[in-house]
Amino acid sequence: MLTEAVKNHLCKVTLLGNLVSKPDIRYQANPVIAVAELTLATHSRWYDKPSKQFKEWTSYHTVKVIGNIVELALIHADKGDIILLQGYLINSKNNNREIIHASYAQTYPKGYAQSINQIHYSGTILSDIKVIMTENNKEFSEVIVESKQTIYSSLTQKSHIVSVQRPLHIWGKQALYIAAHGKLNDQIIVDGKLNYLNNNSKNQFIDAHQVVLLTK
């Protein structure tokens, strides 16, 4: 049983993919600091049993990078380069986009590398849990989870709390377990991948591989 509130959740994204275009790098004054935005493509491939064919899906991640990492890892990066990065989820102030804020980045030469798309995420259940049936008669549970982290900003040079809310999709037996036992304000820990809804805003959601539920 969980006896006290979690004060600082986990939200760590690891991606390895290809740059869609050259990073947009600019400099902000007071203090002078480099700011870059880039789009990273990751690919997933699986065998579809009904069609007996392999299928591939590409996800496009919008990433913001601030500070020394820009000049250390991205200043010479170009379209097609392989990028390894770690960061956390955040809501951008520009059009309230849901993006990734990178705290680490490394560039490798152009070429093919098997993609990595992994997120470790913990938070508080904020919504009722819905069980949804797909067109292929597979069930998954959907729930909104809020994660709060204490983050140091290179721009303000202060620590502040970042709060994000993301839908969580849980499949298989775990889906039914969470639907039966999870409730509002329970804590949940997730190992999964970052995905995007097929809408105009391309809202982020988390596809769970493994879920741990901590009930009060």
Mean pLDDT, rounded, for 155-178: 92
Which tens digit of pLDDT belongs to each residue from 72-122? Answer: 999 999 999 999 999 999 998 877 899 999 999 999 999 888 999 999 999
Range of the domain at 127: 11-214
Element holding 53 (H helix, E strand): strand 53-66
Q: What is the CATH number of the domain that holds 18?
A: 2.40.50.140
Mean pLDDT, rounded, for 119-148: 94
Q: Is residue 2 in some structural domain? A: no
Q: Is residue 1 in some structural domain? A: no
- Structural domain tally of the chain? 1
DSSP letter assigned to residue 94: S
Q: Is residue 206 in some structural domain? A: yes
Q: Is residue 165 in some structural domain? A: yes
Decide if pLDDT at 51 tops 80: no
Q: Is residue 113 in some structural domain? A: yes
Q: What percent of the chain is modeled with pLDDT above 90? A: 72
Element holding 175 (H helix, E strand): helix 172-181
Question: In degrees to the nearest 10, what's the CA dihedral of 182, 142, 205, 210?
Answer: 50
Residues 6 or more apart whose CB falls under 8 angstroms from that of 144 comprise: 125, 126, 127, 165, 166, 167, 168
Q: Is residue 28 in some structural domain? A: yes
Q: Is residue 4 in some structural domain? A: no
